[in-house]
Amino acid sequence: MENSYPTLGEEIARIERDLGIPEGFYDALMNEDDWSFVIKLHAFLDGSLTKLLTSHLARPELDAVFSRMELANQRTGKLAFARQLDLLSKTSIDYLLLLTELRNRYVHNIAQTGTKLSDNINTLAPSKLAMLAKVANWPEYASIPELLISKEHQQQFLAVFFKRVLWYGSFSVLQEIVVSRVFTERKNNAMSLAYGFFAKVAESITLKPTVETTPES
């Protein structure tokens, strides 16, 4: 159907095509080692946000500009735009900030290549651990008030499932990106059609011939 919405899988495949990477790239990330997983996942979400921003602004020519922009700079980066344009929730923004923090640890220290993701758990603040559990939508945490979850409990949980929690978290963020992108594209298309319609109406009124009348004697 013409007005049906694409599935999340179809939109992820479109992002992969837009970024010039093989289809199935995102689904295969869980098979990567921890170092490659973090680097590639960050790059994929970074590129996905670039496509969302250019779609929202209806300015595809800005793709090269946004592509060179930092993701996590909260004053001049992509997340600053996403926040001000209300494109992502606070939880998704917090997730991307944490993913960037983990990515930077790997990128800027080659000695981190062989380390496990779970090795980073002890360095994360309790609020970040709780945010990860929330964004990943784990049932175990869904009904537990954040203040009742001890740091030790979070660490034990994430030590086993950290990579999978990051994966599910990225899935939630991608859902927001896809919904925002599809919505903004449809809105822009509707506005373009409306503009075209009223432009034609205005043109027909302007070009309508006038009938001269002679005054009665």
% of residues, the chain, pLDDT over 70:
76
The lowest-confidence range among 3-7, 44-48, 118-122, 200-204 is 200-204
The domain ranges of the chain are 8-205
> How far apart, in whole angstroms, are the C-alpha atoms of residue 178 and residue 176?
5
d(CA 155, CA 118): 9
Q: Which residues of 142-154 are buried (b: 16+ CB within 10 A; e: fewer)?
A: eeeeeeebeeeeb
> What pLDDT score does 95 carry?
94
- Three-state DSSP class for residue 197: helix
What does the pLDDT read at residue 21? 95
Judged against a pLDDT cut of 60, whether residue 123 lies above it is answered with yes
pLDDT of res. 50: 95
- Per DSSP, helices labelled H in the chain are 8-19, 34-57, 63-67, 78-84, 90-107, 126-135, 139-142, 151-207
pLDDT at 62 over 80: yes
- Tens of pLDDT, residues 74-92: 889 999 999 999 999 999 9
Averaged pLDDT for residues 138-156: 56
Quote the pLDDT of residue 74: 83
**Contacts from 47-52 at CB under 8 Å and sequence distance 24+?**
47/15, 47/18, 47/19, 48/15, 48/19, 48/174, 48/177, 49/78, 49/79, 49/82, 49/88, 49/96, 49/177, 50/78, 51/15, 51/18, 51/19, 51/181, 52/82, 52/87, 52/177, 52/180, 52/181, 52/184
Mean pLDDT to the nearest integer, 67-79? 91
Mean pLDDT of 28-53: 94
Per-residue confidence at 13, pLDDT binned at 50, 70, 90? very high
